[in-house]
Structure 1
Amino acid sequence: MKKSAYFALAALAPLALATQAKAQESALAAAAAPATVEELVVSGEIVFRNRTEDTVPTLSYDLEYFQRFEPLTAGDAMKRVPSVAFLSDVLESDGARLRGLDPGYTQILINGERVPGAGVDRSFFVDRIPAELIERIEVVRSSSANRSGDAVAGALNIVLRDGHSLEGGYLRAGAILLDDKRVRETVGGVYAGQVGPGRLLVGANMQGRRNPKVKVSRRYSEPGGELEDIELQTDTRNGTDYSANASYDLKFEGGSLELSGYFVRTDRREDEDSIEYAGGRIGPADLLTLNDNNVDIVTDNWTLGAKYDREMLGGRFKARIGYAAFEDAQDEVEEETEYLRDTRPFPEDDRFTGDLTFLRLKDTEFTAQLAQEFDLAVGELEVGVQYVGKDRATEITADRNRITIPNPPAARPTIPGAYGPFLPVAGGVSTIEERRIDPYVMLSGKSDRLSWEAGLRYETTETEIVDETAEAADRVRESDEAVLLPSAHLQWSLSDRDRLSLSVARTVRRPSFNQLSPAMLEAELGDNDFIGNPELESETAWGLDLGLERRIGRRGVAGVNLFYRSVENLVEVANTGEEGSEGEGTFVFTPQNTGDGKVWGIEFDLSTPLTAVGLPNTGVFLNYSWLDSEITDGFGERRFNDQSDHVLNVGFIQDLPEWKAAFGATYRKQGDAFGRVVGEEVETSYGADLELFVEKRFGDRFVLRLTGSNLLNASKEEVFHKFATFEDQLDRSYDEYELESEEAGPVFQLVGRVTF
């Protein structure tokens, strides 16, 4: 059955329950009325950060908190919440780094469920989810027994709109003007209402995506050394996102049933063209290389889910199942004409190199959970078990052509039919099967001033890796692992305005797939080789969060949170002592569980109207996170790789009720980051980002909004320290020292929404 058929069933199959449910209609529990679309879309009311009642420290932000700045994706929205950083290209928000840590330390959830992604570190790119699908984003700072424990840095939960989130519908249409004067379109719609005995929500969205950037790289023999070459590059990413979602919620006497599904397709082309010149001189006589690199990408994400609960056995029984799939197809061609670097004009041994690579990836997860809640005198007891079955198949094949050209022209030659046969790349053809059964028990309670939660979770993992490119003896590897994850949370209301929270939890990070694969990758780390280690154990971390939150007036809230993570069994690359494929001075490196690390920081957030100073129609927003860490590798102490030292967001919204208009601005600055692996060290810094919006409301049903983003032409500056061997890196004997600068221009959107 095709995916489209599955998706249609997710939206329509619940209607088949209408006959049975009709008999129970008189006993339907009265539910809170959903907000009308006029209240959500054309209200003119400033929306602030939610103050949740969860015992686990959780920050919640409704879509309306972000919507006036018209984020295109969930990543664009997430960059405004505390402690979320990105190490992406300019105008890209893909791998979310909560508390600045690698995306593999951050758990990404959609509707509270795990989702598979393309990342070998098990991460999910949040720019794959259009912002129009979102009801709210939750920052869950600590872990609970009834959720998967792979959330060392915390979890980001993307909650999609359902039938209870709004009443009515709206249409959205607009245009996006890019810095290269190209215009992309955006259009979509959402409807929610009573259908039969339950509530149905359906939505669809199509939006053009385009990101034109320019890069300049300067390469030296060493810091302060001679400039060897300059590379000028244009990088344009152009595509279209298509999405659809549906949910059907049915309430009956003593219980409820929810069915949901969503589908997102990303159709994208990445076009990089670069010219390299010798010695800092730019002219035809100094030409070194012409490079044309294009990637055609089609990525599909889709999920189906069902949740069922009812009163039984003296408490409440809950069951849920889900199926999620990620499919990625990438066709990449990189063709380069290389000219002799020490003699001009062009000699006969100039070369044309062409690489054509096909990547096919499919990652699926089936999840199930059964739980029973019991009401006890001391609180509520929840006992349950969760199952996760992951299947991941990867196939990467490529062919390289290296051709001598007697007299190459100024532009790249076209060589039709030059590619093939296509052979697997090292580590590129593999299957991974992972099976988890995770029982848990959790006890929680609440009084007038105090709420608490304590639990135990026992995660068991069986893994089988089949890598067709590894040596025959290592081609199939199996492993078993189990880890106990305690957690405890306390929330104490000091007054009607102030409350204190304390959380302690143990979490886990499973090794990346490339760290487990037993394939040998030659010259992967400088001139050093790399081979995975199927015997790796998971990293574990004890975490502490201590927070204080204060309500300001009726709608405002301010909070400060201290966090600490002690990471044990850390996975770092270590030298096996074996000589590498490049000969003397090079080695084979492999990941091993070596040593510990620690992460700490302070997070502050403020979201409030200025009613106290007589400005009730002015809302201000501020969050600032100071982040730090410590780890020891083969070269000494450093922070966790690529952790920014701070993240700042500040902004305001001014509503003008008498004019039915509003305007506002946000400013974002992310701190510097440093990463070090064998063969390369990278320093990364970002320029500031400024966004503005102006909106005008017409009656109660239409709003027109103009937004501008990246108004400061934000840049990304990177410094690369490159070394051929491990000893060279210790001695600071450079293979190359590179300065790279990337910049993109402003983006303007004009978007209108009409409700019905």
Structure 2
Amino acid sequence: MKRNALAASLAQALFCAALLPASLAASAQNQAPDAGTAGDPKQLDTVVVQAEIAYRDRTDDIAPTLVYDLEYFQRFEPNTVGDMLKRVPGVGFVGSDIMEYDGVQLRGLGGGYTQVLINGKKVPGAGDDRSFYVDRIPAEMVDHIEIKRSASANRSGDAMAGAINIVLRDAYEFTGSYIRVGVNRWDDREINPTFGAVTSFEALGGRLLAGVNVQDRYRAKTKRSDRFTDSTREEKVSWEDQTEVKDGRDYSANLSYAADVGDTGRFSIDGFYVKTDRDVTEVSFEEELDDDETVNIRVPGRDPYDQKNYGIGAEYRFDMAGGRTAVSVDHARFENSQATTEGEQVYVSGAENWDDTWSIPADAEWDETVYEAESVTAKDAETGFRLTHARPLGGAELEFGVDYRTKKREGLLVTYEWEAEEEGQTPASLADYDLDGSVASVIEEKRLDPYIMLSGKGDAFSWEAGLRYETTKSEVEYLEDDESEGRVSKDYNELLPSVNLRWNLGDADRISLSLAKTIKRPNFNELLPALLDGEFGDNDYIGNPELDPETANGLDLGFEHRLGRKGVVGVNFFYRDVKDLIEIVNTGVPSEEMQDTWEEMIEDGDAVDLADAMAQEPASSWLYTSSNVGDGKVYGFEFDVSTPLSAIGLENTGIFANYSWVKSKVDDFLGERRFNDQAKSVYNIGFIHDLPTLGASFGATYRKQGDAYARILGEEALIRYGGELDVFVEKRFGTNVSVRLSANNLLDASKDEFFDKFDTLQDQIDRDYDEYELETEEAGPSYQLVMRWAF
């Protein structure tokens, strides 16, 4: 298929513009941006052994951006980027297990609406919604985190809720070395080690930085579920107790090299590697009251997985044609290998044994033992090439360029089943199972995105305006039991304008306004034309590879005020008008279960033909799919303050607080609701107090996430998280050593979920319950002791 003509023409024009005549280049040479040579690198010992409290600072970016250095978070000893982001304004983690922070959400919108970058580059991740799990990156690899609240033409437009840029430590920014060693103690008395080391020095004609990190990933939790006939909770029908242990280890490394080339050039290369080996072990005990029988079920489960994230990028910047040109290339991959097993050992006894205890009655009879197994492999690779050129144009700067990116996602799911012939039997290995089926998919995307942007900076007023034209060519192939179900191609293109304005109302006050159009591409599972039997209650589901992307026109209006020398307080209002929203719709085709029912009626002679069977047994379950259905709206505000209490004489005390409130509107198959899994609010409040004469510090933070609601076909859920209290105490020894004790989740926060479950849409409308379930999980407090030594 031919490349989109408009994109190709615009890209060619941008390349030509980069080679303007030498006479024009000479006239602008004196105004060209400098080569960006670095000053003296920052000493790592000042980062590791902090003598002062670190605060959020204002940035010089025209687009609204919040920047948080690692020092801002470090006193609380975060293990991962997720641990860092939980303290940032507007960041939620609805859906994550208690005390885990993986699928990050800005403005309460799902992971697919939030763009996650590493060193400004896109990275593939585990989520079907294209999200990247931020707990895969250790905190020790990070220099700072940028929260980009609105879009700019020189960045990918798939950041409807905003973008999070994780900037790893750079060789030109740091010099020196340090070691970090520590232990974690969990609520079940498990003790795990952690180790990290970073060094940076002159080498190979430039500067080199290398870091390694090894830390155990451990979490033990308990879960309780109680199930009732309906939401009145008057009649309990079953309950379940579960213990879960996630035990594994992360190995990670990062490398950065930078060197000046000639008078104006700089070459840099950076890379990272993260490997996660983790074994998830679950043991559940269920008890169900079924008429005059008590059914006891022991459910052992195991889910070992091996995941790898790695990427490498290279960039060369140099002066050319009266401006500054940059050429970069990057490649990143995500690989996942899992083998999940779950069994059911079922025993039946009389109703008098219904006693809500974790034990199988002595007179219970063995009914069956069945096991299911899944083998999951996934590979996701992205490769990008970028060419940009920036040059003075009158009193402004002109920047233009083109991004080319390819993505390939391969997935394979193989299912197995096993059934015992007598009590006590269990499968010894996967070889004992029978093959149940396999599903494979390949999704390929190619993008060519040219852009152009003008900007100007002044003492009182700064601005930027640009256009980005994003083109996407996608191909989806789906295979079931090694038979191809066909290959579908889909092309779509979007013109994404953006304007960012900033007014300085003096030295202390600043106003920002941003208007931008953004895009969200469909989730992978929404694109696959795979028929999923009974996916939503009794209803089936099939993906739709013809889906168009969602788009949004957005507005951000912010105000910031400088408090003294170090403090900042800010408030930001945002609005997103979402078009072509993707929701579940009824195809009008009866489910496979209904079709099987009608066939059986005809075979048994209960119906003359299909019309007669349908008349006697009208369809109550259907085949659903995803479709672009209409519009949605998201709006709210974000407040944050970070300041020392110098005004009241407490120069060595710093406070940190933020609060975000969000609301949204979506029309689905039942009417109006919020965006799924959008917490109504999230806030953090904390302080750090430094004791300079003792070389010590202590502090605490409290975080609370508001309720979130989700409604899909056949199920509705309310998700509620308890408040989290974290504290630390630190002692410094000279300028090179610090010892820090931190404690997390001291209030033993729980995650509570309330599920309304239905078999069909009509049952959901009539509130005719299949089941009502209450589920709660807890993990207990954890403690960490860490020593840092800089040298």
- TM, length-normalised to structure 2: 0.89
Structure 1 residue 197, shift from structure 2 partner: 2.0
CA-CA distance at 1:209 after TM superposition: 1.4
1:89 maps onto 2:97 in alignment: yes
* Number of the residue aligned with 2:39: 32
C-alpha deviations, 1:252-286, integer Å up to 9, x for none?
A: 31121110111000110111110012359xxxx95
**Match among 766, 770, 788 for residue 731 of structure 1:** 766
Q: Secondary structure at the match of 1:100?
A: coil
**Distance in 2 (alpha carbons) for counterparts of 1:422 and 1:750:** 48
**1:689 matched residue in structure 2:** 724
* 1:612 partner SS: helix
The amino acid that maps onto 1:369 is: R
Decide which of 218, 235, 238 is 1:226's aligned counterpart. Answer: 235
> Compared with structure 1, are the counterparts of its residues 51 and 316 closer, same or farther at alpha carbon in structure 2 (3 Å cutoff)?
same
Secondary structure, aligned partner of 1:727: helix
Report what 1:753 is aligned to: 788
Q: Tell me the equivalent position of 1:15.
A: none
* Distance (whole Å) between structure 1 residues aligned to residue 751 and residue 301 of structure 2: 21
Deviation at 1:350, TM superposition (A): 1.1
Q: 1:667 to 1:423 in 2, by over 3 A?
A: same
Moved more, 55-64 or 163-172: 163-172
Which secondary structure state, in structure 1, belongs to the residue aligned with residue 677 of structure 2?
Answer: coil
Cα distance 1:268–1:509, how it changes in 2: closer, same or farther (>3 A)? same
Q: Which residue of 1 aligns with 2:162?
A: 154
- Which deviates more, 224-233 or 148-157? 224-233
Task: Give the letter aligned to residue 51 of structure 1.
Answer: R
CA distance in 1: counterparts of 2:125 and 2:633, whole angstroms: 27
Match of 1:11 in 2: none
Match of 1:574 among 585, 588, 605: 585
Task: Indicate the residue corresponding to 1:256 in structure 2.
Answer: 266
Determine whether 1:269 maps to 2:295. Answer: no
| Number of the residue aligned with 1:331 | 339
Could you list the per-position Cα deviations for residues 283-308 of structure 1 after superposition, in whole angstroms to 9, with x for gaps in the alignment?
xx955210011100110000010011
Match of residue 650, structure 2, among 612, 615, 618: 615
User: Using a 3 Å threshold, how does the CA distance of structure 1 residues 704 and 581 change in structure 2: closer, same or farther?
Assistant: same
Deviation at 1:418, TM superposition (A): 6.0
CA positional deviation for 1:423: 4.9
Taking the TM superposition and a 5 Å limit, the aligned residue runs for 1:147-296 are 147-224=155-232, 225-252=234-261, 253-279=263-289, 288-296=296-304
1:419 matched residue in structure 2? 432
CA shift in 2, pair 1:551/1:531, >3 Å: same
Question: CA–CA distance in 2 between the matches of 1:176 and 1:349?
Answer: 42
TM-score by length of 1: 0.93
* 1:470–1:519 contact (8 Å) kept in structure 2: no
The alpha-carbon deviation at position 342 of structure 1 amounts to: 6.4
Shift of 1:539: 0.3
Structure-2 residue corresponding to 1:391: 408
Matching residue of 2:711: 676
CA displacement, residues 391-412 of structure 1 (integer Å, 9 cap, x when unaligned) = 111011010123354xx46xx8
CA–CA distance in 1 between the matches of 2:759 and 2:269? 55
Query: Are 1:79 and 2:86 counterparts?
Result: yes
Q: Which residue of 1 aligns with 2:396?
A: 379
Q: Which amino acid aligns with 1:534?
A: P
Counterpart Cα distance in 1 of 2:562 and 2:36: 32
Aligned-partner SS, 2:593: coil
Give the direction of change, closer, same or farther, for the CA distance of 1:527–1:697 in structure 2 (3 Å limit). same
- Name the counterpart of 1:12: none
Partner of 2:614: none
Provide the residue aligned with 1:603 in structure 2. 638
Question: Once the two structures are superposed, what CA deviation does each residue of 1:198-221 show, in whole Å capped at 9, x if it has no partner?
Answer: 110000000011111000000001
Identity of aligned residues (%): 49
Deviations 1:344-392 (A, max 9, x none): 8777771111111111100000011011112110311111100110011
Q: Report the equivalent of 1:654.
A: 689
After superposing the two structures, state which structure 1 stretch, 342-351 or 302-311, moved more: 342-351
Change (3 A) 1:546 1:499: same
Aligned 8 A contact 2:349 2:364 in 1: no
Aligned to 1:130: 138
Secondary structure of the residue aligned to 1:90 is coil
In 2, distance between residues paired with 1:620 and 1:571?
41
Q: Tell me the SS of whatever aligns to 1:475.
A: strand
Per-residue CA deviations over 1:529-587 (Å, capped at 9, x if unaligned) read: 00001110000000000000011111110100000000000000000111001213110
Match of 2:14 in 1: none
**CA apart distance, 1:340:** 3.6
Corresponding letter in the other structure for 1:229: S
CA distance in 2 between partners of 1:618 and 1:661 (Å): 12
Matched, 1:700 2:751: no
Structure 1 residues 698 and 84, CA gap change in structure 2 (3 angstroms): same
- Contact kept, 8 Å, 2:349 with 2:365, in 1: the verdict is no
Q: 1:453 to 1:342 in 2, by over 3 A?
A: farther
Q: Distance in 2 between matches of 1:34 and 1:63?
A: 16
* Counterpart check, 1:638 vs 2:673: yes
Does the residue aligned with 1:627 lie in a helix, a strand or coil? Answer: strand
CA distance 1:272–1:378, shift in 2 (3 Å): same
Report the Cα distance in structure 1 between the residues aligned to 2:69 and 2:136, rounded to whole angstroms: 19
How far the C-alpha of 1:35 sits from its partner, in A, is: 1.4
Distance (Å, rounded) in 2 between the aligned partners of 1:422 and 1:328 = 21
Within a 5 Å distance, the mapping from 1:288-437 to structure 2 comes to 288-340=296-348, 350-403=367-420, 405=422, 408=423, 413=426, 415=428, 419-425=432-438, 428-437=439-448
Cα distance change on mapping 1:424 and 1:379 into 2, 3 Å: farther
2:146 is aligned with 1:99: no
CA contact 1:515–1:591 (8 Å) conserved in 2? yes
Number of aligned residues: 721
1:10 alignment counterpart: none
CA RMSD in angstroms comes to 1.9
Amino acid at match of 2:267: L
Alignment match, 1:665: 700
1:402 counterpart letter in structure 2: E
Question: Separation in 1 of the partners of 2:460 and 2:36?
Answer: 29
Deviation at 1:338, TM superposition (A): 2.0
| Cα deviation digits, residues 503-546 of structure 1 (max 9, x gap) | 00000000011101011011001110000011100000000000
CA contact 1:96–1:126 (8 Å) conserved in 2: yes
Amino acid at match of 1:503: S
Is 1:335–1:352's contact at 8 Å kept on the other side of the alignment?
A: yes
Q: Distance in 1 between matches of 2:85 and 2:430?
A: 45
Which whole-Å deviations, capped at 9, do the CAs of 1:654-707 have from their partners, x for residues lacking one?
Answer: 000000000000000000000000011010000000000000001111000000
Would you say the 8 A contact 1:470–1:518 is kept in 2? Answer: no
In the alignment, what sits opposite 2:24?
none
Alignment check: 8 A CA contact 1:143 1:154 kept: yes
Matched AA of 1:188: G
For 1:386, give the aligned amino acid.
Answer: D
Contact persistence 1:28–1:251 (CA under 8 A) = no
Q: Which amino acid aligns with 2:777?
A: E
Q: Deviation at 1:413? A: 4.0
- Opposite residue 39 of structure 1, the aligned amino acid is T
1:33 CA drift (Å) = 1.2
User: In the alignment, is the contact (CA less than 8 A) between 1:232 and 1:275 conserved in 2?
Assistant: yes
How far residue 95 of structure 1 moved from its aligned partner, in angstroms, is 0.2
User: Partner residue of 1:721?
Assistant: 756
Task: Specify the SS of the correspondent of 1:658.
Answer: coil
Runs of 4+ in 1 over 6 A off after TM superposition: 341-349, 470-473
Show the counterpart of 1:541.
552
- Specify the code of the residue in structure 2 equivalent to 1:400: E
Structure exhibiting the larger radius of gyration computed from Cα positions? 2
For residues 454-499 of structure 1, give each alpha carbon's deviation from its aligned partner in whole angstroms, at most 9, with x where no partner exists.
0000000011111012997842111111011000000000111000
1:42 corresponds to 2:77: no
CA distance in 2, matches of 1:421, 1:277: 28
- For residue 162 of structure 1, report the CA deviation from its aligned partner: 1.0
